[in-house]
Amino acid sequence: MTHYDVVIVGGGPAGLVAAGYCLHAQLNAAILTPELGGKVNYPFALRGFKPENIVWGAQLVAQFEQMLAGARAVPHLATQATAIEPVPDGRFLLRLREGDPIMARTVIVATGAAPQRLYVEGEREYWGRGVSFSAISHAPYFAGRDVAVVGGGRRTLVAALELAQIARRVYLIAARPQSMAELPEAAYVQALPNVTLFSNWEVQAIVGDEFVTAIQLVGINGETRQLPVDGVFVQFALLPNNELVRHLVALDADGHIIVNHRCETSLPGLFAAGDVTNIQSEQVLVAIGEGAKAALSAWEYLVTHP
Ligand SMILES: Cc1cc2nc3c(=O)[nH]c(=O)nc-3n(C[C@H](O)[C@H](O)[C@H](O)COP(=O)(O)OP(=O)(O)OC[C@H]3O[C@@H](n4cnc5c(N)ncnc54)[C@H](O)[C@@H]3O)c2cc1C
């Protein structure tokens, strides 16, 4: 069986940068991930939009990919982890979808979080051309435009509040408004003059030409309505990819791995970074910083637990 000092699970910005730092520290490390880049490769374009003065997280992450490929000191195991099992001597056995299990003294979990989809006509087609799953990433590009926000929880309400400051009109579509009625943010949203709430309406389709032009709704009595918009923000809670460790470490109420300021989880030797954790992330640059921290903490753990 192959043994490593550090195994990084996940090849998004957090995992790639953690691997880069392991390389820097000359650790015996491997990165275990089916692909490299994670969510940085999600597309984004908008009618009449010319990106200026923005940081391309994908470019930063590509530098780390090149660093790993060039040095060949951090092997890329191009498959998924299917289980992480602590063994009595404090190490971890990792089972892989393809290939033999491997052993690690420390593990960094950087498996990210997945957006929840609507699965309606036009969602896939206009993904990145008006359909967005991340208001904190894309809201600034909708200044003066009309947008729809779809969802039913705190993340939905916060997106509506943020977009209301930037966009001209915000249509908040909540098929089940009772799921957010008790939240304090609901009252703030209702007080905004440029937010219109569509309670008990469901999204039937997202329509457009090259880009999104409208969202089509259906009411509880079957009536339909089309709202002209440039953007549709699908803002249900992100689902943290915590399957590997949910029985091993403390999670918050939404399923994020709880980490402290050193990216330590509740299990010694197991670290976590990026969107899978309870750190306010959902941005490439935050995930990059968290990945660096996790690797530095794992390095310190290794030298202090010989
Ligand atoms: C639609 C959308 C658009 C966004 N746009 C922007 C933007 O414009 N700017 C910005 O800063 N941020 C943006 N973000 C947020 C940003 O993409 C994330 O914050 C960032 O990618 C998180 O990095 P991560 O490494 O934690 O996770 P991810 O990027 O999600 O990477 C997770 C990695 O883990 C791997 N993995 C998962 N499970 C396993 C397993 N069992 N075994 C092995 N590997 C596994 C995956 O294959 C992937 O490589 C956007 C997010 C979304 C959803």
Domain ranges of the chain: 2-114+238-304, 131-234
pTM for this entry:
0.93
Question: Residue 46 has what pLDDT?
Answer: 81
pLDDT tens digits along 16-50: 999 999 998 999 999 999 988 888 767 777 887 76
So what's the architecture of 131-234 in CATH? 3-Layer(bba) Sandwich (3.50)
**How many C-beta neighbours within 10 Å does residue 296 have?**
18
Instruction: Please give the average per-residue pLDDT across 170-186, as a whole number.
Output: 89
pLDDT tens digits along 228-246: 999 999 999 999 999 999 9
Residues lining ligand 1, Cβ inside 6 A: 9-15, 32-35, 38-40, 42, 44, 57, 80-81, 110-112, 115, 132-134, 137, 241, 244, 274-275, 281-285, 287
As a residue count, the chain comes to 306
Q: Kindly give the number of the ligand 1 atom that is closest to the alpha carbon of 275.
A: 26
> If you measure from the C-alpha of residue 37 to the centroid of ligand 1, how many angstroms do you get, rounded to a whole number?
8
Q: Kindly give the number of the ligand 1 atom that is closest to the alpha carbon of 238.
A: 53
Residue 58 has pLDDT above 90, yes or no: no
Question: Residue 254 has what pLDDT?
Answer: 92
Domains 2-114+238-304 and 131-234 share a fold: yes
- Higher pLDDT, residue 254 or 62: 254
Q: Enter the CATH code of domain 2-114+238-304.
A: 3.50.50.60
> If you measure from the C-alpha of residue 283 to the centroid of ligand 1, how many angstroms do you get, rounded to a whole number?
9
Question: Beta 224-228 vs 202-208: how paired, if at all?
Answer: unpaired
pLDDT tens digits along 86-103: 999 999 999 999 999 999
Residue 158's alpha-carbon distances to 180, 184, 192, 262, 284, in angstroms, are 11, 11, 13, 28, 19
